[in-house]
Amino acid sequence: MLLVGKVQRMKISRMVTGIATALAVVTASLIGPSAALATPPEAAMSSTIGHELAQANMSSGHGPRGPHVTAPDVSGAHLVAKRHLHGNRWEIDVYSPAMGTTITSMALIAPGHAPRPTFYLLSGSEGGQAGQNWAINSNYEQFFADKHVNVITPLGGQRSFYSDWENVDPALGNYKWTTFIAYELPSVIDREFHGNGRDAVGGISASGSGAMDLAAHNPGRFKAAASYSGCPSTGGAFGWAYASVITGTAGGSSHNAWGLPDSPNWNAHNPVRNLDRLRNTALFVSSSHGIPSARERDLQPIWIGPRLVELGSHACSEYFTTHARNAGLHVTRYTPTHGAHSFFLFEESMRESWKVIGPAIGT
């Protein structure tokens, strides 16, 4: 019997993890969403990325930072229309000067006129417009019915990671989603719907990294940030592949987003490289092991895609959490035993995160 040494075992372990992650990335780029499972085709990356550690002292949380963030002029942002659907449910249209277009958002508006915080709850990589959104695939309206908070979900921004892109992309257009979500949209929500400026942001799958990036890129803007089955790191070989696959599935280019991999702007959008900027933000990170729950098994036979993608998200979430905690940040980690990459798991995690987000924003 061949005995494998410790070093060889470590190499094999890294290889297996890498293969699983690569499969998740490729699977996510090829498979379509499961209608029954409401599963967005997101990708994930390995927890064994070493490239970032070679360039940044993660134990201290030091690393490259983005340019000094100055709040943009939002005077041109305004409410175009609002439509009352039922109860606290609305659709609102807000003009974005940065993108030169009107963006529709799903909104749960708390009743009355008393000031209230706002939770910006993001959809996955396809932006929520094709049906993969909270209103259609969850009971979030019921959950927030007795809570004094506005919940806003913009529709659009497919494959954007909800960031401001360096260049206009020929396929995806002019993306300035950080400006819209962090500044333009809140200025309208606060003015028109009694927001008090104490906000939180959370995202599922690919928008989990977007939520953490929004908080890190605009320190102090959000009191809490949550990643639900996301990948809150875009560094290293797998992180680069992850971001490139996500943008590429819609014909876009990650180079138009943040430039070349490992460039200053790319690193500025990697939450793991900007941990100090999250130091005063309540953080929640969730993921599972990809084992389908009973609810998911009841819907249809679970094929490999949602399992692999969730497994990759879990590895990436562990990677972020480990380095954030090593840097002295407090991260609430939620890891249910069962759950594939579906809205069943996303909603369960979101409800659990309210134990962190609610107190952070004062509701």
| CATH code of residue 251 | 3.40.50.1820
CA–CA distance, 95 with 205 (Å, rounded to integer):
27
CA–CA distance, 172 with 253 (Å, rounded to integer):
9
The parent domain of residue 267 ranges over 6-361
Taking alpha carbons only, the member of 362, 77, 102 closest to residue 192 is 77
Residue 104 is assigned to a structural domain of this protein:
yes
Residue 136 is assigned to a structural domain of this protein:
yes
Please tell me the predicted confidence (pLDDT) of residue 302: 53
CA–CA distance, 101 with 176 (Å, rounded to integer):
11
Number of domains in the chain: 1
Residue 241 is assigned to a structural domain of this protein:
yes
> DSSP 3-state assignment of 31?
coil
What long-range pairs does 260-263 form, CB within 8 A, spacing at least 24?
262/51, 262/55, 262/235
Residue 61 is assigned to a structural domain of this protein:
yes
CA–CA distance, 159 with 345 (Å, rounded to integer):
21
Residue 202 is assigned to a structural domain of this protein:
yes
The pTM assigned to this predicted structure is 0.81
Evaluate whether 257 touches 60 at the Cβ level (below 8 Å): no
Point out which residues pair with 268 in neighbouring strands: none
Question: Going residue by residue through the chain (363 aa), what tens digit of pLDDT does each one get?
Answer: 333 343 333 333 343 344 344 444 434 433 333 333 333 333 333 322 233 323 333 333 333 334 456 788 999 999 999 999 999 999 999 999 999 999 999 999 999 999 999 999 998 877 777 777 888 888 999 999 999 999 999 999 888 999 999 999 999 999 999 999 999 999 999 999 999 999 999 999 989 999 999 999 999 999 999 999 999 998 888 788 888 888 888 899 999 999 999 999 999 999 999 999 999 999 999 999 877 776 766 555 555 667 788 888 899 999 999 999 999 999 999 999 887 888 889 999 999 999 999 999 998
Residue 1 is assigned to a structural domain of this protein:
no
CA–CA distance, 357 with 115 (Å, rounded to integer):
17
Residue 56 is assigned to a structural domain of this protein:
yes
Round the average pLDDT of the chain to a whole number and report it: 81
